[in-house]
Amino acid sequence: MNKSLRVIISTFGAIIGLMGFEHGLGETLQGNVIPSGLMIPSWPDSAFFNVLAGEPAMTIIPNLLITGILAILVSLVYTVWAVLFVQCKHGGLVLILLSILMLPVGGGIFPPILGLLIGAGATRINAPLTWWRIHLSPGLRDFLQKLWPWFFSACLLAWLSMFPGVPVLDYFFGVSDTNLIFIILACMFGFLILAGIAGFARDSQLFPDP
């Protein structure tokens, strides 16, 4: 098993699950009402989530209470699978399917998208990483291996800066900047990709060169 990749999948998979859970909680608290359309705010009356436009989500369920319950259940299953079972056969495929399911039942917009990326990476968690050992020199792999902890830490910081960071800055300190949100989003995706690349290089060091 590729241990560096497992750390990435489990850590950020758990965060994605918590994000989906938070969306579901907001929808559940709105009660037994019919949504106004396909797109809904998870927290429409919350000042804390105002900076994030009330946490947009999507639902095909004509009831916000049921939507929220389903979002919570799917998100919890996603979290448990990412943390405990992702190394199982077809573990990555299960995460991909759960991400797809999370979208139409109110689990948010970005959590399912990020979940798909995590799921795609998880499909390689038991791969021999032959491509990396053939196409990357030992020196480059060693260099990327040393960068992995920094990329991982930067990615974790970016994710936590989005939530709860952005709402906290707006609600408690009045700091609200759309450009800052887009910068953090770019860092979330960018450092996730870099951490994945460095993680593959780090894990490939455990295999003998072909």
As a whole number of angstroms, the distance between CA 86 and CA 173 comes to 39
Indicate the domain borders of the chain. 3-204
pLDDT tens digits, one per residue of 143-154 = 999 999 999 999
Average pLDDT (168-194) is: 94
pLDDT for 207 equals 67
In this prediction the pTM is: 0.94
pLDDT for 209 equals 60
Average pLDDT (36-62) is: 95
As a whole number of angstroms, the distance between CA 74 and CA 67 comes to 11
Comparing 79-93, 106-120, 125-139, which segment has the lowest mean pLDDT?
A: 125-139
pLDDT tens digits, one per residue of 13-25 = 999 999 999 999 9
